[in-house]
Amino acid sequence: MSTPPTVLLIGNLAHTNAEWTSLSKKYSLLEFRKGTREQFFENCRNGTYAKVQGCYRSNMSTLLTGPFNKELVDALPESWKYIAHNGAGYDNIDVSACSARHIAVSSTPGIVNDSTADTGIFLMLGALRQAHEPLVALREGRWKGNMRLGHDPRNKVLGILGMGGIGSAMAHRARSLGMEIIYHNRKRLDPSLENGAKYVSFDELLAQADVLSLNLALNASTRHIIAAPELAKMKRGVVVVNTARGALINEAHLVDALESGQVSAVGLDVFENEPEVHPGLVKSNRAFLLPHLGTSTVETQRDMELLVLKNLQAAVDQGKMLTLVSEQRGLDWVPGHAD
């Protein structure tokens, strides 16, 4: 009788423990639901993971193992071929190091589009309406407090930096609010996918947007893509919304622009050094903030977990990941994904 493939769960599951357990019918299941980075390295060294072919990596697993950087990837046993990651963003995985080891990586795009776009619209409206101060004042018994008049979204220009799935979902919602949509990507979308949005250069996006929404991935080329020079090119009084990754913006420069009035308000779900938040943002009554809740719904979280499990099974059973990360698409060593 052949030995079943071994797979590893790193971190906890909130909604699909039964589905994970059911995989024991065809796999040998290992778990690392709690522990430290050093304990994980020790398991790699002492043979505990010697037969692991792939893992389910919870996005919260970074709290246990730290990032899957080159040091950790290089410590994985030779048997390890797949990382099924739970999260649309995967900047805490060194994909280059994985590719060098011929380890395929998947993420969870698409499923997060609606909940993240809902959060973006919520943040945009909260920032436009200067909602932070009256919300705090109400709970402190000061009724509206030192409330400022806000602005309607109608007839405002929403500039989307990164018109992928989430950006497109954001644009769809913003149209119903009467907003004009412009966007910038490295490459223009096929016109059939624009739905009336206008493609502009990066500098045109900065100059024309009344609201700038960041909806792009974080990597070496996009880190601090918005900093002092870019903020200076924007309309005075622009609103900045970020539901992608905090380090897309130089947070200190954003605080300076907020304090000077160059930026009238911000709506942020992500921060440069999470869970720390720049004190200038915390104290600002023009900063509408959430603690990274973009996909925090029961429906989305369950769907994300299910997709990770499907990726892991497709990888082990068929040698093909359903939602391979873009950097690895077309690589000839990835079965089923070579162009």
pLDDT, tens digit, 9 for 90 and up, residues 168-225: 999 999 999 999 999 999 999 999 999 999 999 999 999 999 999 999 999 899 999 9
- pLDDT > 50? residue 339: no
- pLDDT > 50? residue 157: yes
Check residue 336 and give its pLDDT. Answer: 64
Active site residues: 245, 274, 292
Query: In 210-283, where does DSSP find H-type helix?
Result: 228-232, 251-260, 279-283
pLDDT, tens digit, 9 for 90 and up, residues 92-130: 999 999 999 999 999 999 999 999 999 999 999 999 999
Nearest by Cα to 278 from 249, 307, 306: 249
DSSP class of 235: P
**DSSP reduced 3-state for 169:** helix
Q: What are phi and psi of 315, to 5 degrees?
A: -65, -50
- Two tokens, residue 298: 């029961």
User: 106-119: string of b/e by CB count within 10 Å (b at 16+)?
Assistant: bbbbbbbbbbbbbb
Confidence of residue 47 (pLDDT cuts 50, 70, 90): very high
Confidence of residue 1 (pLDDT cuts 50, 70, 90): low
Q: What dihedral angle (degrees, nearest 10) is formed by the CA atoms of 326, 330, 332, 336?
A: 90
Nearest by Cα to 109 from 278, 311, 282: 311
Q: Are 116 and 294 in contact (CB under 8 A)?
A: yes
Q: Are 227 and 89 in contact (CB under 8 A)?
A: no
User: What count of other Cβ atoms lies within 10 Å of the Cβ of residue 138?
Assistant: 12
pLDDT, tens digit, 9 for 90 and up, residues 51-68: 999 999 998 899 999 999
What's the pTM? 0.90
Domains of the chain with CATH codes: 6-110+299-328 (3.40.50.720), 113-289 (3.40.50.720)
Work out the mean pLDDT of the chain and round it to a whole number: 96
Q: Phi-psi bin for 105: left (phi > 0), alpha (psi -120 to 50), beta?
A: beta
Check residue 2 and give its pLDDT. Answer: 77
Check residue 338 and give its pLDDT. Answer: 44
